[in-house]
Amino acid sequence: MPLSIDECMLAIKTRMPYHGTMPTTPRPLSDQFREAVERSGLSRYAICKAIDLDQAAMSRFMAGERGLSLEVLDRLGLLLDLSLRPVKPAKQPKGT
């Protein structure tokens, strides 16, 4: 069964391997982090406790009302075993 765009997680690589064609329009990383939180199977309380984040801040982030600092996103990414990957290959300098 092919994966949906939501399951691809574009620039975020989770433990689930990606198989298929990359969508042409990447989604914002914040949306991908929100989806990763929802798909993690962990409660928001457990996530907040593990990454030392106030539950109200997590609620505002999940509702799209506020962002999170890079430091908090780093901790969240480590907890959920997320990593970035390029959607397109990096351009090589001319002459190489």
**CB burial class (10 A; 0-12, 13-18, 19+) of residue 18?**
middle
Mean of the per-residue pLDDT values for the chain? Answer: 79
pLDDT in tens, 42-66: 999 999 999 999 999 999 999 999 9
The tokens for 71 are 């430091």
pLDDT in tens, 10-48: 434 444 454 555 555 678 899 999 999 999 999 999 999
Nearby residues of 9 by Cβ (< 8 Å), 6 or more positions away:
18, 32, 35, 36
Question: H-helix or E-strand containing 12?
Answer: strand 12-13
Q: What's the pTM?
A: 0.65
1 pLDDT higher than 50: no
Q: Are 84 and 12 in contact (CB under 8 A)?
A: yes
DSSP 48: H
